Amino acid sequence: MAVLVGKKAPLFEADAVINGGEFVEKFSLEQFIGKKYVLFFFYPLDFTFVCPTELIAFQDKIDEFEKRNVAVVGCSIDSNFSHWAWLNTERNNGGIKGVKYPIVADLSKTISANYDVLAGEYYTNEDGNLEFEGAPVAYRGLFLIDKQGVVRHQVVNDLPLGRSVDEALRMVDALEFFEENGEVCPANWQKGDEGMKATAAGVADYLSKH
């Protein structure tokens, strides 16, 4: 599994569905560079079980992300037509109606591969035929990208394990705190807590108070 933290986030142009039902072509994260943080997350498939709980949970906190100048963007290996159908299915029927942030279509699986979250890989068998080993879907990868397009945080969950939206918000807060104050964020730091100077004296001072 590649570690992208500290590196430029892989860019792409792909079909996407925005605003809950509007098709767009050549959607790219590049539009946010210099303007917004990006929380870019992958999920395995539309019309599944854990996935709608995550996508709806991100939508439920979308105001909190927007207050922090964060663009939330989802992505799976489904087509934009599948995304559209899921977005227009009522929640009591397994849909995610009401989700408004962009959902990218990675039908070719190249975006998942570039972020190294594809839950399997292609290989050539002894007969020279291309085969796929594993699950041809994305793990639950999440990437916090700063305004310069650099990945500052990533977490990748296996398929059965849903993510914490509150933890994603905490990491945004921690990044903003560091950028604004120049102090680092110790374990279990929450917005409103004091930071710590990245020196031996700073660590000693912090630990003496806690």
Mean pLDDT of the chain: 95
Q: What are 116-151's pLDDT values in tens digits?
A: 999 998 899 999 999 989 999 999 999 999 999 999
Cβ-contact 94, 114 below 8 angstroms? no
The CATH number covering residue 74 comes to 3.40.30.10
- pLDDT, residue 1, reads 66
Assigned domain for 59 exists? yes
**Tokens coding 50:** 């854990």
Examine residue 3 and state whether it is found in any structural domain, yes or no. Answer: no
Query: Would residue 51 show up in a list of annotated catalytic residues for this protein?
Result: yes
Same structural domain, 57 and 70: yes
Alpha-carbon gap, residue 70 to 50, rounded angstroms:
23
Most confident of 98-102, 123-127, 186-190: 98-102
Q: In this prediction, what percent of the chain has a pLDDT beyond 90?
A: 90
The pLDDT score that the predictor gives to residue 210 is: 77
DSSP letter, residue 21: T
The pTM (predicted TM-score) of the whole model is: 0.94
Domain carrying residue 120: 14-163
pLDDT in tens, 74-87: 999 999 999 999 99
At 146, phi and psi to the nearest 5? -80, 180
Measured distance CA(206)–CA(145) in Å, rounded: 28
Of the candidates 51, 137, 138, 172, the residue annotated as catalytic is 51
Query: Based on the domain organization, do 26 and 112 belong to the same domain?
Result: yes
Contact 175, 185 (CB under 8 A): no
Q: Is residue 50 part of a domain?
A: yes
Banded pLDDT at 204 (limits 50, 70, 90) = low
